[in-house]
């Protein structure tokens, strides 16, 4: 689960990481005055609260010097769709602004804690050039990026010895930097984060470290250990309405822009099914992994989700039963169609655990289903059916 900047900073604040002064969260332009008053004299920074990166380059962060300028910028940002390099082309609606006092930057660093898959360990990543697009830097000058593997999930200050030497910082800054790194690693471990990124961490002209931005992603698998975030996840704006519905039902669902609605079990097979539809000359309307341990109710809810998408002109169900049994899928399907009208052709490919029982149930139901033997066959039939409608 991704946290918005202000939520990430709230977490950082609890661990004593220094942050810019804030006037709070503004959801309507009318509340801006109060936030500015709270901060006192400008200049101020208005920051769009969206999940994708690249906000600054997309014009989602504004430096303003007067109350009038601030009101004008807030009017332009709030309620608008912000299209960044990372969320193009559809963009993301700006529902709130985080208001902070502007700071004078003397040095900018990049720091993050994340999981290194290959090593199976958390790593601390550092770059003396912060504020830049770190992905590009990693490609173009990987030598500028330094990492420390956190062997025991703990930070040992000696691992960073010398890293800040070239920055010509006054005495004491290095020690304070290590304290901040220690806090970030503690947050990562205690809160079950999968990514914690501060880009940039700045050294101000006044001689202080400040986390100017913050991006935290929490491990979805560990949310049960953090009930406060579990609640937040259920209303998170990271997901569309349909995606949130899917989340509640324990289904992974990603909306796409094609015309063939898909329901598949397993992420790998679901991706391969999308690839196959593409090869057959069609486009998928969604990615829907109904999950390995799905029950009839989940299958039914998956179907409701699929059919609520107006773009869908044919439905392709591709189930290779393992944990999920074909008879369970068939029952869920029949359940769904007791209430829903199937207005589009349905292509169905069932294979695996209890396939005979599943096929029998469907056959006996009288439901109009286009059967398919293989993956290629299923994709071709779905593409053909969508064209006919």
Partner 1 sequence: MSILVHADSRVVIQGITGSAGSFHAQGCLEYGTKVVAGVTPGKGGSEILGVPVFDSVRQAVKGRHAEVSLIFVPAPHAADAIVEAAEADVKLIVCITEGIPVLDMVGVKRRLAQLPGPVVLIGPNCPGVITPGACKVGIMPGYIHRAGKVGIISRSGTLTYEAVWQLTRLGLGQSTVVGIGGDPILGTGFQEILGRMLEDPGTEAVVLIGEIGGSAEEAAAQFYRERGNSKPVFAFVAGRTAPPGKRMGHAGAIVEGGTGTAESKREAFRKAGICVIDSPAEIGQTVFESLSPTRKQDALT
Determine which one of 5, 92, 100, 197 is catalytic: 197
Q: Report how many helices (DSSP H) and strands (DSSP E) the chain contains, helices first.
A: 12, 18
Residue whose CB is less far from partner 1, 69 or 192: 192
How far apart are CB 205 and partner 1 at their closest, in Å? 28
Strand spans (E) along 231-359: 252-255, 260-264, 286-289, 314-321, 346-352
Q: 22 vs 87, which CB is nearer to partner 1?
A: 87
CA angle 20, 1, 266 (to 5 degrees): 160
Q: CB of 84: closest distance to partner 1 in angstroms?
A: 10
C-alpha 169 chain-centroid distance: 36
DSSP helix/strand/coil, 201: strand
Q: Which of 6, 110, 229, 253 is catalytic?
A: 110
Q: 7-30 burial, b if ≥16 CB within 10 A, otherwise e?
A: bbbebbeeeebbebebbebbeebe
Strands 193-204 and 209-211: antiparallel
Residue whose CB is less far from partner 1, 176 or 278:
278
Binding-site ranges for partner 1 (CB under 8 A)? 52, 86-87, 112-118, 120-123, 125, 134-135, 138-139, 142, 145, 147, 151-153, 189, 192, 194-195, 197, 215, 217, 219, 221-222, 224-225, 254, 256, 264-269, 271-279, 284, 287, 292-293, 320-323, 351-353, 374-376, 379
Q: Alpha-carbon distance 389 to 377, whole Å?
A: 19
For residues 287 and 337, which CB has a smaller minimum distance to partner 1 in the complex?
Answer: 287
Which residue, 205 or 376, is less far from partner 1 as judged by CB? 376
Of 215, 170, 174, 202, nearest in space to 18 by CA: 202
Minimum distance of partner 1 from residue 34's CB (angstroms): 34
Residue 175 annotated as catalytic: no
Instruction: Tell me, yes or no, if 110 is annotated catalytic.
Output: yes
> Cα(108)–Cα(217) distance, rounded to whole angstroms?
22
Estimate to the nearest angstrom the gap between the alpha carbon of 99 and the chain centroid.
23
Smallest separation (angstroms) from partner 1 to the CB of 69 = 33
CA-wise closest residue to 324 among 303, 350, 294:
294
Distance in angstroms (rounded) separating the CA atoms of residues 98 and 87: 20
C-beta of 222 vs 340, nearer to partner 1: 222
Q: Which residues are catalytic?
A: 110, 197
């Amino acid at each position: 689960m991704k946290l918005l900047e202000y939520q990430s900073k709230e977490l950082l604040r609890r661990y004593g990481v220094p942050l810019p002064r804030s006037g709070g969260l503004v959801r309507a332009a009318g509340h801006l005055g109060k936030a500015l008053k709270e901060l006192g004299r400008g200049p101020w920074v208005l920051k769009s609260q969206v999940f994708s990166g690249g906000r600054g380059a997309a014009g989602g962060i504004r430096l303003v010097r007067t109350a009038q300028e601030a009101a004008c910028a807030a009017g332009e940002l709030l309620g608008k769709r912000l299209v960044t390099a990372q969320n193009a082309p559809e963009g993301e609606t700006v529902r709130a602004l985080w208001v902070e006092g502007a700071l004078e930057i003397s040095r900018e660093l990049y720091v993050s804690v994340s999981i290194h898959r290959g090593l199976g360990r958390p790593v601390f990543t550092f770059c003396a050039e912060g504020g830049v697009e770190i992905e590009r830097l990693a490609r173009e000058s990987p030598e500028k990026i330094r990492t420390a593997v956190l062997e025991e999930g703990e930070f040992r200050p000696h691992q960073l010895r010398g890293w800040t030497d070239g920055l010509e910082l006054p005495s004491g800054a290095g020690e304070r930097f290590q304290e901040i790194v220690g806090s970030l690693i503690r947050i990562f471990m205690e809160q079950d984060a999968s990514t914690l990124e501060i880009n940039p961490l700045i050294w101000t002209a006044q001689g202080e470290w400040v986390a100017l931005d913050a991006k935290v992603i929490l491990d979805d698998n560990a949310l049960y250990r953090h009930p406060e975030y579990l609640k937040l996840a259920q209303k998170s704006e990271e997901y569309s309405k349909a995606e949130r519905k899917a989340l509640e039902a324990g289904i992974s669902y990603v909306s796409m822009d094609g015309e063939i609605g898909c329901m598949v079990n397993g992420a790998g097979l679901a991706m391969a099914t999308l690839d196959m539809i593409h090869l057959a000359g069609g486009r998928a309307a969604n990615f829907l992994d109904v999950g390995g341990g799905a029950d009839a109710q989940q299958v039914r809810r998956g179907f409701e989700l699929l059919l609520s998408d107006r773009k869908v002109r044919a439905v392709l169900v591709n189930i290779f039963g393992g944990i999920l049994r074909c008879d369970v899928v068939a029952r869920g399907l029949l359940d769904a169609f007791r209430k829903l009208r199937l207005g589009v052709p349905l292509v169905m490919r069932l294979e695996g655990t209890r396939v005979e029982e599943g096929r029998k149930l469907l056959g006996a139901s009288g439901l109009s289903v286009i059967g398919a033997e293989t993956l290629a066959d299923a994709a071709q039939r779905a593409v053909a059916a969508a064209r006919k409608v």
